[in-house]
Structure 1
Amino acid sequence: MFLINVFGYAAIGGVLSVLLPTQVRLVAADAAPSVLALVTGVSALASLAVPPVVGLLSDRTRSRWGRRAPWILFGGLATAASLILLGAVGSVAGLLVGWFLVQGTVNVGLNVVLATIPDRIPPHRHGLASTVQGLGLPLGSVIGVQLGALFVDSLPLAYGVLATAFALASAVSAWLAREARHSAPGERRTRSAAADVRQMFASLRFRDYRWVFVSRAVLYLGYNTVNGFTLYVLEDFIDPPRGVAPAEGVATALTISLIGVTAGTAVAGPLVDRFRRHRGFVLTSSLLLTGALFVPLLRPTWSGFLACTALSGLALGLYLGVDLALTTLVLPEAGDTGRDLGVFHIALTAPQVIAPFVASLAVTTLGGYPALFLLGGAIALIGSLAILRVRPQPVSAHHSLGESP
């Protein structure tokens, strides 16, 4: 799980931060910002649609390696092929198709591997598993950005390196995640494909699962609403130190944020395994993020912004270290683990699509950049209120702890 997450997010981070913007600039020149928004916006549809569908299919898969491993391997190989294709295209249409395919295929393995947590890991270790999974985001992002910057003058080589690394990581992960052919404990009788499609989002009818989904979605929305406009904040609202360009300021802020994410993730999982206060950690994360986003309102300076960045990263890390552990406590049905975690993944990807529109509305209509931080903090506060609606669940060997609506 650690390998596929690190190199999966390395591919996403390297392409999205360095390689794809470089390609867009080469083919679109001055129209690059609008073209990049089009390419990333359309591809977001793949990241929304693929996880629940692939999760459902993995629940129904029977093979000599079990349910999850074939999809992890297939997702890695398909992602590698998509990355190589993306590195070879030289038109807007090619970039649109290529990044759409990458977003669709990379979310196969990254989503299916989550189901190995309730499938294979004892419940009292789910906090540690959530930490291992969460660490893939900051570590992978750093690796991807560094590789992208190193090979930016040779785009096909850069894509080839990322493709090879992710394919190998997926192959190793698939080998380690293989399981027996027999059905999972507690699995229900096989439904028809039509019934599965009709019940794709049935898990949202369960009260605790629904509130955990809502809290995740609004917390990520609050974080991404501000984080996605970092460059514009440093250009138009907060002045970096003399001699530091806004783009350099973004790099500094990103580094500080990733340190906070890594620290928060590393400590949250083991602690939640020990104290078993899942809601408390999510509540702390939401309130810390709210407070962090209010800092630039009180101190609109470079030091205030860095404090906001550090605290926001720490808040996100605390959440990443516990969110999957909490989710496994409220999964409605053991036989639909892949499907339900795929639906839960939407609470991560959907805010990334919505956040730019919310941020733009705040800056252009609601009062400028102070409104941006105020709105982001208010959204994060709603996340803390949502998690209070989740009833505490004991950690036991039983995975299906969700209740009827």
Structure 2
Amino acid sequence: MSDPRTSPDPTPLVAAGEASAPGTSTKLAEGKPFKRYLLFYALGLMGFFMTWGAVNGILLPNHVQAIEFDKFFTGADSGVDLQQLNDLKAQVDDGAVIPTGEQERLLGVLEKFESARAQGLSVITAIGLFVSMFIQPITGVLSDRMRSPWGRRAPWIAAGAVLGGLALIGLRQSSTILLVAVCWGFGQLVINVGQGPLLTTVADRVDESKIGTASAISGLGSMFGGVAGALVGGVLFTQFGLDAYYPFVLMLLFCALVFVYFARDRSSMALQVEPINWRGFFQAFVTPLRDSDFRWVWIAKIAMMFGYAVSHAFSIYMLQSYVQPSLSLTEATKTAPLLQLAGLPCMLVTMVLVGRWSDRMGRRKPFVFWASISHGRLDAGAVGVGHRARPLRPSGDRRHRPGRFRRR
């Protein structure tokens, strides 16, 4: 017989905190139930955010590039070395090399290929973001009214993880941009179906006095999970190629189902709910925009997140085609996550210092304004440096030997 002191107890985490209404969660504030909830909550978050970091930052850009490469570089061109071709492009742009007719043809194909992969990834990412924008509020309303022996949120978390895993399997098998868009659009929808209710468990099950602790775990989990997912995804992709989707299927299922089982909520079968006012629900999407302050915050956040999303999603392509000397696919895949990791310490320090500073001043807008100006100037400077800092390599007779651009 196992020792009850060491065996996990799958019983609902109750008897800690204030009593709740029938069918709702018990508030936790201290003791083993609260610590156990935080532990498995953090694990569940890592599963979801590592999946986001790996797929959006590593696997999806490489997947799209592989599909477009096979479309544009066919026949004898299928052995072209993109790294060497990008180096030639840089030298031609700088006037250091006059390309031959064959090289001009390859550079023309390269330009079409780079445009197609960027457009393909943009469309796929946009579809997923559009779906995600609406699914979480809808899931929230429906899960608020969920009656089950496992509580209101657990069925949604489990279903989102299972369906998300199936979507990733389908994504791995996708051989066209259309199929990738369909599978990942569905994947983002169902993964958000699980992630939204998981995040909502903080408001359901944590006492108000401990909300700050749980919120800190949410913030750190999203940042560390995304970076860790990209790092692990980069390593797995260099070893297994697109089969690297499969380990994240297992991880997503494991983390979500472990949370559901070991941090089990109490039954919501006795929950009393009112009918959903769908008209009022959808009006709530636009009503806050009537307030000028909220509207400007919303616009500013879209602009800032747009810049971050572009640099994150296209970092592999930038390292291959923009930075000189250009990196190979393997080098870019390994380097891109390191860029995120390098920025993480500064992000954490800034969050702590600026948060306290703005609290003392009682103002937020100056920080948003100057941060935006600084970020814009840094981006503009990076573009200028990228154009100027192109070290030239000896061309020799490369321009007369197009065979040098074949993979060896």
Aligned equivalent of 2:47: 7
Please list, as runs of the form range in 1=range in 2, the aligned pairs for 1:4-403 lying within 5 A after superposition.
4-29=44-69, 30=113, 31-152=116-237, 153-155=239-241, 157-175=243-261, 176-181=263-268, 190-193=273-276, 195=277, 197-201=278-282, 203=284, 214=295, 217-230=298-311, 253-264=339-350, 267=352, 280=362, 286-287=368-369, 289-290=371-372, 292-293=374-375, 295-296=377-378, 300=381
Offset from partner CA, 1:351-399 (integer Å, 9 cap, x none): xxxxxxxxxxxxxxxxxxxxxxxxxxxxxxxxxxxxxxxxxxxxxxxxx
Q: Name structure 2 gaps, 5 residues minimum.
A: 1-40, 70-112, 387-408
Displacement of 1:252 in angstroms is 5.4
Distance 1:109 1:177, change over 3 A: farther
What TM-score do the two structures reach when normalised by structure 1?
Answer: 0.60
> What SS does the aligned partner of 1:131 have?
helix
For 1:177 and 1:211, how far apart are their aligned partners in 2?
42
Name the residue aligned to 2:391.
Answer: none
Question: In structure 1, how many angstroms separate the alpha carbons of the residues matched to 2:318 and 2:168?
Answer: 32
Deviation of the 1:63 alpha carbon = 0.7
Deviation at 1:51?
0.8
Deviation of 1:81 after TM superposition, in Å, equals 1.3
CA displacement at 1:105 relative to structure 2? 1.0
User: How far apart are the structure 2 equivalents of 1:201 and 1:268?
Assistant: 37
Q: CA deviation at 1:199?
A: 2.2
Q: Secondary structure at the match of 1:154?
A: helix
> Following the alignment from structure 1 to structure 2, what is the Cα–Cα distance between the partners of residues 129 and 24?
37
State the Cα RMSD in Å.
4.0
User: How far 1:202 sits from its partner (Å)?
Assistant: 5.2
1:205 positional shift: 8.1
Distance 1:262 1:235 in 2: 25
Using a 3 Å threshold, how does the CA distance of structure 1 residues 26 and 60 change in structure 2: closer, same or farther? same
Give the alignment's TM-score, normalised by structure 2. Answer: 0.59
Structure 1 residue matching 2:268: 3-state secondary structure: coil
Over 3 Å counting, the alpha-carbon distance change for 1:276 and 1:288 in structure 2 is: closer
- Alpha-carbon deviation of 1:54? 1.1
Deviations 1:50-72 (A, max 9, x none): 11111111011011111111111
- Is the contact between residue 153 and residue 197 of structure 2 (CA under 8 Å) also seen in structure 1? yes
How many aligned residue pairs are there? 290
Distance 1:49 1:281, change over 3 A: same
Question: Based on CA coordinates, which of the two structures has the bigger radius of gyration?
Answer: 2
Counting aligned pairs with the same residue, the percent is: 21
Question: Shift of residue 84 of structure 1?
Answer: 1.4
Contact 1:87–1:155 (CA under 8 A) maintained in structure 2: no
- For 2:195 and 2:183, the matched residues in 1 are separated by 18
What are the superposed Cα offsets for residues 295-345 of structure 1, whole Å, 9 maximum, x if unpaired?
Answer: 538x9369x99xxxxxxxxxxxxxxxxxxxxxxxxxxxxxxxxxxxxxxxx
Question: Mean Cα displacement is larger for which, 244-253 or 99-108?
Answer: 244-253
Residues 15 and 70 from structure 1, CA distance in 2 versus in 1: closer, same or farther, beyond 3 angstroms? Answer: same
Q: Alpha carbons of 1:282 and 1:8: their partners in 2 closer, same or farther (altered >3 Å)?
A: farther
1:16, CA displacement in angstroms?
A: 1.3
Higher percent of residues as helix: 1
CA deviation after TM superposition for structure 1 residue 212, in Å: 8.7
One-letter amino acid matched to 2:144:
D
User: What code does the residue aligned with 1:111 have?
Assistant: G
